Amino acid sequence: MNEESRSVIPPWLSSGVRAVMRKIAIHGNVIYGSNFRVGRGAIIGAPHELRVGNNVSIGPRSVVQVNGSIGDFALIGMHVQIIGREDHEVSELGVPMAKSTWVGSRESRQRDEITIGRDVWVGASCVLLGGVTIGEGSVIGAGSVVTRDIPSYSIAVGNPARVVSRRFETDEEREKHSDALSAMSLVTD
């Protein structure tokens, strides 16, 4: 199955439609690479800065509203929520939550950012909270809630997400895959 046959958009219309979908979905402080695909109804933005690599796909109705980075070849499924965990100050005495200091009105903190490595697949309906790193080559099972770091080449599931397996059998295979990703990145840049 080739790339064009996986899309419902006719090949002759593809680049224009994708550009419009990106324009509608991205609302601020996002820097993205080539071949960035955005599904219908996705919302993508960051209080300070989000960097999205090459050949990244974010599925329909997903919300990405966090600082950080998404690596090359990442697949974000539909209905995924990638959000901060400290978007509003909760300790301001006498200040209603709706009027509390918002993350975009203060300096960025480490817990405001998420790092998603290259070749990560985040399954449908996952929730990823700021302050975590998902290592290169990992798979996050559908419906999982990620509250802490996931090591590279891990398969994690559940709420909270926990590692249940490794992707590829040996460190040598994982290293070969990582080298192949680096070679592909050089070609697509």
- CATH number, domain with residue 37: 2.160.10.10
In the numeric block, which tokens belong to residue 27?
């609302």
Q: Is the dihedral of CA 11, 62, 166, 117 positive or negative?
A: positive
Cβ neighbours for 109, distance < 8 A, ≥ 6 positions apart:
86
Count of the separate structural domains present in the chain: 1
Contact 59, 40 (CB under 8 A): no
Q: Which of 164, 94, 84 is nearest to 130 (CA)?
A: 84
In the numeric block, which tokens belong to residue 50?
């989000």
Supply the pLDDT for residue 1: 47
Pairing type for strands 50-52 and 67-70 reads parallel
In the numeric block, which tokens belong to residue 59?
């599925």
CA distance 152 to 88: 30
Beta bridge partners of 52: 32, 70
Element (DSSP H or E) covering residue 75: strand 75-76
The residue range of the domain holding 134 is 4-188
Supply the pLDDT for residue 177: 93
- pLDDT (tens place) for every residue of the chain, 189 residues total: 455 556 777 777 878 888 888 888 898 899 999 999 999 999 999 999 999 999 999 999 999 999 999 999 999 999 999 998 777 776 778 878 788 776 666 777 777 799 999 999 999 999 999 999 999 999 999 999 999 999 999 999 999 999 999 999 999 999 999 999 988 877 654
